[in-house]
């Protein structure tokens, strides 16, 4: 296992914000290896024992898979067959690519299957030599040639294959070809083929380094039919869709990825079947093993990641842990484990009631089965909702049993829960479409009744026995079709139960894919129709620009078109056309820019022109090791790099109309820690070494490598008087130095771009303060609390809505209310069903966020399920952006209150028409008030507070809903007061706490009678010595290098000891 930091950040790497463009990744991943590769299925000299007699001259499966790849592309994938002599003895297993042996002539073939005792026995014999002997899944065929072939064995003989021989138990096959299934519904983590169906989710969640085939059930043919292929290197890291009544086979790794190439083994239209398992799996019991119950450090040494640091909840690598009710790890409501496993929550009755990466809670009287690695894969493959689990604590095992009724009862429970919540929202006068919801609830209840009838019929027929495989498949798929109808209605009820806020950011990170203005307008129109009001359009990515910049190092992206025209209106480039389309539909546009990340190609112009600008690792390489791909970064400490980027941003605002801001992405160092570090450029090493009194000779400065050899002595106890303590302190200071470089650069963008052009700044960061600081050298807490950033988009890329809420909430608590928070969500990108967008968006609202941004456009464009989920629920009515003119924000809230009064509160007798008119008069008075400046905003806020404190306007649920809306507005106005104070210059969060604002004045805090030294500017990369002399003084005086909480910037004079940052 890697060191703690690297392990903790694997979840971040799973969603590294800008994933590599499909055509650009060429190195760094085994699945993308170059050259030729052959996976040989044949083993020679293997032993087979028949009726006690051993034969050591068998070979197995005379076939191979050949691949040839170059420049990151899979060019050739072929199946090859070895010649078999007439006297050869061959074992054919399901690994063989054909369903029959194909061996003809003077040959006798013995079909071997397992009997009731688990032994392989000869079941049938084919003496015709016609090559049509079927190779059973879970068994094998002994194909014997020569004179004694007919007397080799007899039916019933026990056959013991060589231990080297693998006998697959699951496969998908057509009439002639077969693909072995190595695992079901698990992570595709090694060379393998994985089967995914409805139990896994809406998408496979697989990356582009493999191949996939989607098979859909045809009710007329009573068979699954090959529907489509996903070629190697296509799509994105959300994987393939898993449609209703379908499954996806996914192949990964050399020797496997060629199996699912179109027309290799399967072709579109082929009828295929599952062998060795069912689409709906029930009626059996499987046994799992676990390691500990409620583990402690003492009893589970593998639960420790380092000598001093445990894995979360003491769940180690490849372990399965049982967490019983009452367990808590550092205050967790669930198990407290990290996101690298999978869990099943079992209630007091032994029924599985929740599945997920992290379940929300441990059921009262029950427990959670939590697995990592192999344990995770077993849970995902074998445990379903509604299954019954029995613990055997004596032998540390658990058994999982499923029946058709398990599936049914679990679905009933889920539907009833959703229905209850919807009915509660209707009763409590939430602004939902109560008429439509009531209709959907009735339809769901009717569908459940139909499903029960189908279930009973199937149970009766199964009990009667003698069902053929075809009859069983038909019955189960009929059940599944009814089940899907219920699930669809359940999901519709879920999305319809959401309120649509009148003021909210509804954003999307948009990737340029359109090659004409018509395509752009179609997508923008769709965004408008589903309620999107903010787009971050990818503008600088992989070292290329989406507009025609004058900056030669960032040429116009060749994958974009050069002519975007709307009739007679001709646009200069993609970005200009996209901004024009968004402005036409009233959607605000910001430029999403990737700062130091420049793709994966060292031939990209900025790298080719300036190879000395590359960022180096501690081992002298430039490909970053912990970014999820062969990513290349420029050196953040290099002033020329910073100047180039800032010049590009200025050119952007000079040339492209309609862009309202910059969304800063990759504004950081690559993910690293002490074991695999980065940032070892001449600029950075010289600057930091100077703060430690280290100098380099001219001979050492001749090359970066020679400089680095001396530089790393700062972190080696053998070269330091203070030994290991000094080495660790130096490394911590090295982290602080790189963090200060990024912070200084953010300040430059704020000063040189934002302040000059009057544009908004937003930033895409992960929500953990410590992980961002230590692993990415990114101190977003200082940026936000200092008021440099207008909009924070915390990337809360989690599966569980509770995690989205938790991390968003923590970010807001850490950085304060000096900016707006629009939570980044990636539920669809993660393969979750469309309705989960609603759950995660509501979770972000509950955390205090002012809106959301979906990652990314590829999960909305072409996905009508996601579009409908947004349009029918959280976006069912239009919304004003929280950062819009205050008069528009107020009008949107007030109009919605009056609208709800007319539709909901008055009909429910919670408000009278007179009360409504009185409230409207108050709203009109507030709308007439001035709104510029912090004092005027406070007056507006005070007037609104008086309204929700006055109970004379509404009663009961009407009063609760009215108060809820007005309190939400008051909270938003507090953000506005902060931003007004900063914008007017009345408050500098870097040097003082926020002044008190009243309805008449701004009251500043009493000056410190013993002021500290005046504020110094943040360091620039070319001025290290003076800057870090100050840094050393600060560390000695206060024990800190970075201040936060709205009181001081990185490496500046601190106003008060109580404001120091303890995150180092």
- Torsions phi, psi of 58, nearest 5? -90, 155
Question: Has residue 162 got a pLDDT over 80?
Answer: yes
Residue whose pair of structure tokens reads 């409620």 in the numeric block: 294
Cβ burial, residue 913 (10 Å; 0-12/13-18/19+): exposed
pLDDT for res 650: 98
Confidence of residue 799 (pLDDT cuts 50, 70, 90): confident
The residue to which tokens 């899944």 are assigned: 137
Which is nearest to 55 in space by CA: 171, 155, 165? 165
Rounded to whole angstroms, the Cα distance separating 770 from 280 reads 44
Q: Is the pLDDT of residue 8 over 50?
A: no
What Cα–Cα distance (Å) separates residue 972 from each residue in 504, 565, 767? 11, 40, 21
Collapsed DSSP state (helix, strand, coil) of residue 925: helix
Q: Residue 1011 above 80 pLDDT?
A: no
Helix residue ranges per DSSP H, 530-638? 574-584, 605-609
Q: CA 412, 418, 423 angle in degrees (round to 5)?
A: 120
Q: Tell how far CA 466 is from the center of its chain.
A: 46
Assigned token pair, 697: 């000779």
The answer to whether the CB of 1051 falls within 8 A of the CB of 1018 is: yes
The DSSP result for 819-836, as a single string, is SEEEEEE-TTTTT--TTH
**pLDDT of 407:** 84
Nearest to 241 by CA among 277, 211, 279, 198: 198
Query: What pLDDT digit, counting tens, does each position of 509-560 carry?
Result: 999 999 999 999 999 999 999 999 999 999 999 999 999 999 999 999 999 9
DSSP 8-class letter at 1047: S
Q: How far is CA 304 from CA 6, 12, 345, 358, in A?
A: 15, 21, 24, 20
Q: What is the Cα–Cα distance from 702 to 308, expressed in whole angstroms?
A: 41
pLDDT, greater one: 575 or 600: 575
**pLDDT confidence of residue 567:** 92
Q: What is the CA radius of gyration of the chain?
A: 32
Mean pLDDT confidence for 197-220: 90
pLDDT at 332 over 70: yes
**Residue 690: how many other CB atoms lie within 10 Å:** 17
**Neighbouring C-beta atoms of residue 280, cutoff 10 Å:** 21
In the three-class reduction of DSSP (H, G, I as helix; E, B as strand; rest coil), residue 241 is classed as strand
Give the tens place of pLDDT for each residue, 43-67.
999 999 999 999 999 999 999 999 9
Q: Which residues pair with 676 in a beta bridge?
A: 673
pLDDT digits (tens, 9 = 90+) for 671-680: 999 999 999 9
Give me the CATH topology for the region 505-871. Answer: TIM Barrel (3.20.20)
Once rounded to an integer, what is the mean pLDDT over residues 488-494?
96
- Helix or strand run (H / E) with residue 881: none
CA atoms within 13 A on the CB side of 754: 22
pLDDT band per the 50, 70, 90 thresholds, residue 1036: very low
**What average pLDDT score do residues 383-392 get?**
91
Q: What is the SS3 assignment for 126-172?
A: ECCCECCCECCCCCEEEEEECCCHHHCCCCCCEEEECCCCCCCCCEE
- CB-based contact 835:494 (threshold 8 Å): yes
The reported pLDDT for the residue numbered 1027 is 29
Listing DSSP states for 485-498 in one string gives: HHHHHHHHHHHHT-
Quick: pLDDT tens for 231-281: 998 887 778 999 999 999 999 999 999 999 999 999 999 999 999 988 887
CA distance from start to end of the chain: 24
Count CB neighbours of 36 within 10 A. Answer: 12
**Helix/strand/coil for 354:** strand
Does residue 210 have a pLDDT over 60? Answer: yes
Pairing, β 89-93 against β 107-114: unpaired
| Residue 508 bridge partners (DSSP) | 535, 854
Mean pLDDT over residues 371-376, rounded?
A: 92
Q: What is the mean pLDDT of the chain?
A: 89
Q: Where are the domains of the chain?
A: 33-169, 173-275, 285-402, 406-496, 505-871, 886-984
* Cα–Cα distance, 618 to 754 (Å, whole number): 35
Question: DSSP string spanning 795-860?
Answer: B---SSHHHHHHHHHHHHHHH-SSSEEEEEE-TTTTT--TTHHHHHHHHHHHTT-SEEEEE-GGGT
CA torsion angle 460 465 471 473 (round to 10): 80
Angle of CA points 910, 916, 921, to nearest 5°: 155
**Helix (H/G/I), strand (E/B), else coil: 781:** helix
Burial (Cβ within 10 Å: 0-12, 13-18, ≥19) of residue 317:
middle
For residues 627 and 1008, the answer to whether their CB atoms sit within 8 Å is: no
CB count within 10 Å of CB 306 equals 11
843-900 per-position pLDDT tens digit:
999 999 999 999 999 889 988 999 999 999 999 999 999 999 999 999 999 999 999 9
Percent of all residues in the chain with a pLDDT value above 70, rounded to a whole number: 91
My answer on whether omega of the bond before 28 falls inside 30° of 0, hence cis, is: no
Q: Which residues pair with 159 in a beta bridge?
A: 50, 120
To the nearest 10 degrees (0 to 180), the angle between helices 956-984 and 886-900 is: 180
Model confidence at 10: pLDDT above 90: no
Secondary structure class of 653 (helix, strand, coil): helix
- Pick 151 or 1008 by higher pLDDT: 151
pLDDT higher than threshold 70 for residue 225: yes
Instruction: Give the model confidence (pLDDT) of 615-640 as tens digits.
Output: 999 999 999 998 978 899 999 999 99
For residue 762, what pLDDT is reported? 98
Least confident of 87-101, 420-434, 997-1011: 997-1011
For residue 293, list its beta bridge partners.
322
What is the rounded CA–CA span in Å between residue 225 and residue 208?
A: 23
Asked if 248 and 206 touch (Cβ cutoff 8 Å), the reply is no
Report the pLDDT value the prediction gives residue 990, as an integer from 0 to 100. Answer: 92
Of 15-29, 194-208, 555-569, 915-929, minimum mean pLDDT range = 15-29
Encoded tokens for 468: 């053929």
Is residue 71 very low, low, confident or very high in pLDDT (cuts 50, 70, 90)? low
Q: How far apart are CA 504 and CA 526, in angstroms?
A: 18
* Cα–Cα–Cα angle for 594, 597, 603, rounded to 5 degrees: 120
Q: Which pLDDT value is given to residue 15?
A: 36
Q: How many residues does the chain have?
A: 1064
């Amino acid at each position: 296992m890697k060191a703690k930091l690297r392990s903790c950040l694997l979840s971040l790497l799973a969603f590294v914000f800008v994933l590599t463009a499909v055509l650009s990744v060429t190195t760094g991943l085994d699945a993308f290896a170059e050259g030729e590769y052959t996976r040989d299925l044949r083993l020679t000299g293997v032993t087979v024992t028949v009726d006690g007699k051993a034969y050591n001259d068998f070979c197995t499966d005379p076939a191979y898979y050949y691949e040839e790849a170059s420049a990151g592309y899979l060019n050739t994938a072929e199946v090859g067959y070895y010649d078999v002599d007439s006297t050869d003895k061959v074992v054919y297993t399901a690994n063989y690519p054909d369903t029959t042996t194909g061996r003809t002539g003077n040959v006798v073939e013995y079909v071997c299957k397992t009997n009731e005792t688990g032994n392989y026995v000869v079941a049938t014999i084919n003496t015709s030599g016609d090559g049509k002997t079927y190779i059973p899944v879970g068994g094998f065929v002994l194909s014997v040639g020569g004179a004694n072939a007919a007397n080799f064995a007899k039916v019933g003989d026990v056959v013991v294959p060589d231990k080297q021989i693998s006998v697959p138990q699951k496969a998908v096959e057509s009439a002639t070809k077969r693909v072995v299934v190595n695992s079901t519904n698990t992570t595709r983590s090694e060379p393998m083929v994985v089967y995914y169906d409805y139990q896994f989710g809406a998408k496979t969640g697989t990356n582009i380094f493999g191949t996939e085939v989607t098979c859909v059930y045809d009710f007329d043919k009573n068979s699954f039919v090959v529907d489509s292929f996903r070629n190697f290197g296509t799509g994105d890291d959300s994987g393939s869709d898993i449609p209703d009544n379908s499954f996806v086979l996914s192949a990964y790794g050399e020797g496997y990825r060629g199996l699912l190439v179109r027309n290799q083994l399967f072709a579109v239209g082929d009828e295929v079947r599952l062998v060795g398992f069912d689409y709906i799996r029930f009626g059996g019991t499987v046994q799992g093993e676990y390691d500990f119950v409620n583990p402690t450090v003492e009893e589970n040494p593998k639960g420790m990641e380092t000598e001093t640091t445990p894995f979360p909840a003491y769940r180690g690598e490849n372990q399965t842990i049982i967490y019983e009710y009452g367990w808590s790890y550092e205050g967790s409501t669930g198990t407290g484990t990290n996101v690298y496993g999978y869990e099943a929550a079992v209630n007091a009755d032994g029924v599985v009631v929740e599945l997920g990466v992290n379940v929300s809670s441990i059921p009262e009287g029950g427990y959670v089965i939590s697995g990592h690695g192999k344990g995770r894969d077993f849970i995902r493959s074998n445990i379903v909702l509604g299954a019954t689990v029995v613990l055997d604590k004596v032998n540390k095992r658990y058994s999982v049993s499923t029946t058709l009724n398990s599936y049914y009862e679990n679905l009933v429970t889920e539907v009833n829960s959703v229905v209850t919540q919807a009915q509660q929202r209707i009763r409590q006068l939430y602004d939902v479409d109560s008429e439509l919801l009531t209709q959907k609830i009735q339809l769901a209840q009717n569908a459940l009744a139909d499903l029960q009838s189908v279930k009973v019929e199937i149970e009766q027929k199964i009990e009667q026995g003698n069902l053929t495989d075809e009859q069983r498949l038909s019955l189960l798929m009929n059940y599944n079709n009814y089940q899907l109808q219920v699930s669809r209605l359940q999901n519709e009820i879920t999305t319809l139960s959401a309120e649509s806020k009148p003021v909210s950011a509804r954003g999307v990170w948009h990737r340029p894919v359109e090659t004409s203005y018509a395509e752009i307008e179609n997508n923008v129109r769709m965004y408008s129709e589903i309620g999107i009001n903010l787009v971050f359009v990818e503008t600088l990515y992989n070292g290329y620009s989406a507009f025609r910049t004058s900056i030669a190092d960032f040429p116009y992206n060749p994958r974009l078109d050069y002519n975007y025209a709307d009739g007679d209106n001709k646009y200069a480039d993609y970005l200009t056309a996209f901004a024009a389309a968004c402005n036409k539909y009233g959607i605000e546009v910001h430029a999403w820019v990737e700062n130091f990340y420049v793709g994966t190609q060292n031939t990209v112009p900025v790298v080719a022109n300036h190879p000395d600008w590359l960022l180096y690792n501690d081992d002298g390489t430039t490909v970053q090791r912990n970014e999820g791909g062969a990513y290349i970064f420029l050196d953040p400490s290099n002033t020329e790099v910073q100047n180039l980027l800032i010049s590009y941003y200025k050119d952007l605002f000079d040339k492209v109309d309609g862009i309202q801001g910059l969304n800063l992405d990759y504004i950081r160092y690559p993910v690293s820690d002490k074991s695999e570090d980065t940032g070892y450029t001449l600029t950075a090493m010289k600057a930091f070494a100077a703060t430690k009194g280290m100098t380099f000779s001219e001979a050492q400065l001749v090359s970066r490598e020679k400089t680095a050899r001396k530089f790393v002595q700062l972190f080696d106890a053998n070269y330091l008087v203070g030994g290991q303590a000094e080495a660790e302190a130096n490394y911590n200071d090295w982290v602080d130095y790189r963090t200060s470089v990024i912070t200084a650069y953010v300040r430059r963008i704020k000063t040189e771009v934002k302040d000059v052009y009057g544009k908004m700044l937003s930033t895409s960061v992960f929500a953990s303060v410590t992980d961002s600081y230590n692993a990415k050298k990114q101190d977003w807490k200082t940026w936000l609390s200092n008021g440099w950033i207008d909009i924070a988009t915390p990337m809360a890329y989690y599966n569980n809505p509770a995690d989205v809420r938790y991390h968003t909430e923590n970010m807001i608590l850490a950085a304060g209310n000096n900016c707006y928070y629009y939570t980044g969500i990636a539920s669809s990108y993660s393969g979750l069903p469309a309705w989960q967008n609603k759950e995660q968006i509501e979770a972000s609202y509950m955390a205090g966020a002012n809106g959301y941004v979906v990652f990314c456009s590829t999960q909305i464009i072409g996905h009508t399920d996601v579009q409908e989920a947004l349009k029918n629920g959280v976006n069912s009515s239009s919304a004003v952006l929280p950062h819009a003119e205050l008069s528009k924000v107020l009008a949107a809230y007030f109009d919605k209150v009056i609208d709800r009064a007319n539709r909901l509160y008055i009909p429910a007798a919670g408000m009278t028409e007179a009360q409504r008119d009185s409230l409207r008069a108050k709203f009109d008075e507030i709308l007439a008030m001035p709104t510029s400046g912090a004092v005027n905003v406070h007056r507006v806020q005070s007037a609104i507070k008086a309204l929700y404190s006055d109970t004379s306007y509404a009663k009961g649920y009407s009063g609760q809903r009215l108060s809820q809306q007005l309190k939400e507005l008051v909270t938003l106005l507090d953000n506005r007061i902060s931003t007004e104070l900063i914008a007017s210059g009345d408050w500098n969060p870097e040097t003082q706490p926020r002044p008190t604002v009243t309805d008449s004045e701004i009251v500043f805090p009493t000056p410190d009678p013993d002021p500290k030294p005046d504020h110094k500017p943040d360091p620039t990369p070319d001025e290290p010595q003076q800057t870090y002399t100050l840094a050393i003084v600060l560390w000695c005086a206060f024990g800190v290098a970075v201040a936060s909480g709205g009181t001081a910037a990185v490496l500046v004079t601190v106003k008060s000891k109580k404001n120091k940052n303890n995150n180092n």
